[in-house]
Amino acid sequence: MARDDGQKDSPFGWIQNAELMSASAAQRRNADSARLVAQAMHQAGVQPEDSVALIGHSQGGIVAAALASDYADTYRIEHVVTAGSPIANHPISSNTWVTSVEMDDELVAALDGTSNPANDHWVTIRGTVTDGDSDGLCTGRAIDDSDGPYRLTHDLKYHEAALGHALDLGSPAVQQHNDHFRGTIAGDYVGTTYWQGRVAHHTPGED
């Protein structure tokens, strides 16, 4: 979920990042990126009583956390999974389960300046890159570099490896979260849709 294409009218950028991490609920809720995803959910036909799971990497995870925090009266967001996202300060209700995956030396995930809450409904999986062969290892799992070498641990490949290794280790907490997530998305597959939005700039005096 969520991708910055580098264009000036993109709703996903550094300005929106700052809004999404604001202490103000109104500012988070009104960030262009959060409003775009909420609008896409509405247009996709998501109903208030539907079970919703959100997954996001980097800024996508911040959007997911903002929706879970500030759109809880609109949508039933039961589980959020983030990868490399600074979301520790988001006031996510205990009704929403949160699975966060972060790398030890990752700058982006540390931008919130604090550790994630630790409770039954919020689990943080931390991955560590070890020195080894040229491919590198992430907490016991080789990084898939079939698309080329990956050098930054903020890349999603590292988070996928960290999550996979945590499941391999048989952590009861991680397994419980995995089971809850699978239960949230259980159902019949209907289809996949892609949404794209742009920020419309209005010049004063224009009708």
**8 A C-beta contact, residue 64 and residue 1:** yes
pLDDT the model gives residue 145: 67
CA–CA separation, 144 and 156 (whole Å):
11
List the single range of 1-10, 92-101, 189-198 with lowest mean pLDDT.
1-10
Closest CA to 73 of 95, 40, 101: 95
* 10 pLDDT tier (thresholds 50, 70, 90): confident
What are 59-113's pLDDT values in tens digits?
999 999 999 999 999 999 999 999 999 999 999 999 999 999 999 888 999 999 9
Whole-model pTM: value is 0.86
Better pLDDT: 91 or 142: 91
Task: Report how far residue 191's alpha carbon sits from residue 171's, in angstroms, rounded to the nearest whole number.
Answer: 32
Residue 203's pLDDT is what?
47
β 129-130/137-138 pair status = antiparallel
Average pLDDT of the residues in 166-189: 94
Residue pair 85/116 in contact (Cβ under 8 Å)? The answer is no
What pLDDT sits at residue 133? 46
DSSP string of 14-82, one letter each residue: HHHHHHHT-S-HHHHHTSHHHHHHHHHHHHTT--TTSEEEEEEETHHHHHHHHHHHHSTTTSEEEEEEE
CA–CA gap between residue 11 and residue 35 (Å, rounded):
9
pLDDT tens-digit map of 119-140? 999 999 999 887 654 445 555 7
* Average pLDDT of every residue of the chain: 86
